[in-house]
Structure 1
Amino acid sequence: MKSTFDLQNPWRGPGYNFPKEKYIQRNIFDRLLDDLNQKEITVVVGSRQAGKTFLMKKMIERLITEESIDPRQIFYFNFDAFNLIDLINNDRDFLDFIKYYGSPEKTSYIFLDEAQRVSEIGLLLKRYYDLGGNLKFIVSGSSSLQIKGQVKETLTGRKHLFELYPITFREFLQYKGIETHEELTRIIRFESDRYQYLMEEFVLFGGYPGVVKLDGADNKIRLLKEIYQSYVQKDISDFLKIEDIGGFNRMVQFLAHQTGGLCKINEMAKNIRLSRHFVEKYLFALDETYVMSFIRPYFVNLGKAIIKTPKVYFCDTGIRNAVFGQFESLDKRPDTGALVENFVFSELVKSIDRDYLWFYRTVTGSEIDFLFVNGDDIIPIEVKYAITRQKIVPKVYNTFIKHVGIKKAVIVTKDYLHEERRGNLKVLFRPAWSVYNLNMEFEKIT
């Protein structure tokens, strides 16, 4: 056990130097660092290979190299090594271990990675937290089903929860050395082709850090397939004990072909030859493991939305394309509109709380793709990727305005940048590659 711990904590050895390498800077990182100063348990959840382990080790590096924390104060446990699970499950042994190999008079920073492998992890953390003392826990898990479920019930008032998605398009651009604070008018004049090219790469292969760092389409596709297969094996089969993997994969493939469509459970069950019970079970698993996400229709009476049909999207377009089996360029595929709409959704859900995100649909089927809703302030967002330099405002906006007063609307186009007023309504036409800038519009009303 000690040998496993030593291997996982090389910075405790003499003369250790942290590796110097180009890495993707994550916007969430500074928030995580700030949380190290809080006594509450820091909980990071997200999809497999989204970068949780990397962020933990970057936090450790920052503590040692910039905060001058003694390496003996830092304990990293990755529970993929099952022999470490027995240690944390035994209160006395675990606390004695921390005391013996640590610096008892100072804060011990205890990083627990892949914590979903520890049964009753929520109760364990509650016990350790309630004991008091100089213990700061940072916990991560690839499967949020157990982590979120347990910490929600047992760690009320004792934790801060952070959700980690694959990287945003802004983070992708910054990794590529692209300035993301340039005026859009300057970009559209001089560099729109470059941004469009990078957006297409991102839409096709997504934002998983390992995929982003690879060169060559074949290598990216191979890793995306491995990520999905690992997810099915480790999260769906081994951890969630779902036995009908064939049925699960059929449903995911069906959803890949229905991206952005209404999630009609009975219709889906019939098409993929599964019972409603299993469809609902699999949808819940996909949502809780950050592979897919759902948004609800907006009504003036929000209570009605609970019983209405949601829309479904993938959290990462690269995984969607791997399941779909299609990596052709955007100008050569029949599903470009749906794919770009999914890209816009994934960028929105990475930047704002899902509770702010809705869609609007009339009884006749007219639809606004997304609504950003914060109290009485609402911004509709419609994806019209085929639009190039045309001032087309969807008719459904007029219907929506009659029911809900709005001051601003966004239409996402292929390459058109424009603003205009229509009465009291300000309409923003924005190229899809500028979606990384949309959250600034939301921040103005939050």
Structure 2
Amino acid sequence: MEYPRSLAPKLRELARFFPAVVISGARQSGKTFLVRKTFPGHRYVSLDLPSVAEQAERNPAEFLRDHPAPLIVDEVQYAPGLFRHLKTEIDRARHAMGRYILTGSQQFVLMKGVSDSLAGRCAVLELENLSRIEIGRGKPRSDSRKALLSLMARGQFPELWRVPSLPRRDFYASYVATYLERDVRQILNVASLRDFERFIRVLAARAGSMLNKSDVARAVGVSVKAVGDWLSVLQTSGQIILLEPWFTSFGKRVVKAPKVYFRDSGLLCFLLNLDDETLDASPHLGPVWETLVFAEMRKLNQSVPNPVNFWYYRDQRAREIDFILERGGRLTLVECKWREHPDLDDARHLLSVREDLGRSGSSYRPVSSWVIGTPDATYSLDDNVTAGAIRDLPRVVS
């Protein structure tokens, strides 16, 4: 079964205005399907094949003669030397748009090539895994607790939904093994892949929490520097996202550490050895729920005309707000609670921080506050806070 991607119209539009478009994203996020479906008239070549990647890296001029534009180059990070020659080819016909569509699963190599050679000549998009809307092929999906537990545990990698009979555990075991062998070895010279795998699992147990590198280093048995390097690997390859704390002239920036989130709830559940039967009783259910909500908000944010910036809030009084969405000084405050009937107690930090913001004279203005749980219907907790469900996230982001 095919799942049309909501990013396709934006990709098509950018190709009308830029000579090249770069699409980054984690392995198996659906980049190849997206670009081949969107640009059926383009030639296609993948640098996943070592011999092809070697030609592109060692003899890029010959490679581009063998594969003329319009061209899709898949996994372009395997030939970083190609970027400079792409610049030359683009400049020969500077106003011919959409000639090169490039994909890659290692963001650092991609963005270095873009900034060094293709600045001003390409647009950059990031593709995440399927959204709930894409999985439902544009139709509403059930947001019952049972359906959400199943979604969180299975995750949103396209292959798991294209082949419904594919065992999720087998998929993720293969995914992690391939990731360790290919991406980790290429990006960073990790002395022990076993240590790195243990590091990923230790990090999974801290998902949704403030990142303490020293604590992680002690748990894994490696240096703090190694933890920092390995976090960069996970970020570069699209596996995790670090959410920074929000701060302004309002109060003091008490918390400096980011919170760590895995991009896909299914991978997180696999690393925590959870499935849809055990997740509901797990102490990790709250962070997994936050992971899903955050992922859905990021995907929705890609399609809005004026995207928001994501932050979280925590102060010296231990008041914490899971997500702050900021757009032009206007704030939306979001708390995630795995509850069927969120109440005012679940919103106490939202209300308290809103009140302090109003008194502070800050130019930042809260315009809405939400507690995202699993209620059957959306309802107001008071004049300033709404209890909603995952179906309400388009309203939250827009």
Q: Under a length normalisation based on structure 1, what TM-score does the superposition of the two structures give?
A: 0.79
Aligned to 1:256: 204
Does residue 377 of structure 2 align to residue 428 of structure 1? no
Asked if 1 retains the 8 angstrom alpha-carbon contact of 2:337 and 2:346, the reply is no
Asked if 1 retains the 8 angstrom alpha-carbon contact of 2:244 and 2:312, the reply is yes
Name the larger-Rg structure: 1
Determine which of 62, 82, 93 is the counterpart of 1:93. 62
Determine which of 240, 244, 262 is the counterpart of 1:296. 244
Does residue 35 of structure 2 align to residue 56 of structure 1? yes
Asked if 2 retains the 8 angstrom alpha-carbon contact of 1:45 and 1:140, the reply is yes
Asked if 2 retains the 8 angstrom alpha-carbon contact of 1:317 and 1:343, the reply is yes
CA distance in 2, matches of 1:233, 1:38: 38
CA distance in 2, matches of 1:248, 1:97: 39
Q: Secondary structure of 1:215's partner? A: coil
Larger deviation: 118-127 or 291-300? 118-127
Amino acid at match of 2:325: F
CA deviation profile, 1:170-193 (whole Å, cap 9, x unmatched): 111227xx336xxxxxxxxxx664
Does residue 206 of structure 2 align to residue 237 of structure 1? no
CA shift at 1:327, angstroms?
1.1
Does residue 370 of structure 2 align to residue 401 of structure 1? no
Distance 1:237-1:86 versus aligned 2 partners, 3 A rule: closer
Aligned to 2:393: 438
Larger deviation: 119-128 or 284-293? 119-128
Asked if 2 retains the 8 angstrom alpha-carbon contact of 1:296 and 1:305, the reply is no
Aligned sequence identity (%): 21
Distance 1:124-1:169 versus aligned 2 partners, 3 A rule: same
CA distance in 2, matches of 1:143, 1:410: 35
Asked if 1 retains the 8 angstrom alpha-carbon contact of 2:22 and 2:124, the reply is yes
Q: What aligned pairs does 1:271-286 form with structure 2 within 5 A after superposition?
A: 271-286=219-234
Distance 1:24-1:303 versus aligned 2 partners, 3 A rule: farther
CA distance in 2, matches of 1:244, 1:126: 38
CA deviation profile, 1:70-111 (whole Å, cap 9, x unmatched): xxxx32111122332354453543454356xxxxxxxx3111
CA distance in 2, matches of 1:258, 1:127: 46
Asked if 2 retains the 8 angstrom alpha-carbon contact of 1:206 and 1:212, the reply is no
Aligned to 2:282: 333
CA shift at 1:342, angstroms?
1.2
Determine which of 28, 40, 48 is the counterpart of 2:7. 28
Aligned to 1:287: 235
Any stretches of 5+ residues in structure 2 without a counterpart? 358-364
CA distance in 2, matches of 1:75, 1:306: 53
CA shift at 1:390, angstroms?
3.8
CA distance in 1, matches of 2:323, 2:283: 22
CA deviation profile, 1:322-367 (whole Å, cap 9, x unmatched): 1111114343323211211111111122232697100111213221
CA distance in 1, matches of 2:285, 2:182: 31
Asked if 2 retains the 8 angstrom alpha-carbon contact of 1:297 and 1:309, the reply is yes
Q: Under a length normalisation based on structure 2, what TM-score does the superposition of the two structures give?
A: 0.88
Does residue 51 of structure 2 align to residue 83 of structure 1? yes
Any stretches of 5+ residues in structure 1 without a counterpart? 1-21, 64-73, 100-107, 181-190
Larger deviation: 90-99 or 310-319? 90-99
Indicate the structure with greater helix content: 1
RMSD: 2.6
CA shift at 1:235, angstroms?
0.3
Q: What aligned pairs does 1:40-439 form with structure 2 within 5 A after superposition?
A: 40-61=19-40, 63=41, 74-89=42-57, 90=59, 92-98=61-67, 108-132=69-93, 136-174=99-137, 178-179=139-140, 193=144, 196-216=145-165, 219-301=167-249, 308-329=256-277, 330-352=279-301, 356-388=309-341, 390-404=343-357, 405-420=365-380, 422-423=382-383, 425=384, 427-432=385-390, 434=391, 437-439=392-394
Asked if 2 retains the 8 angstrom alpha-carbon contact of 1:214 and 1:220, the reply is no
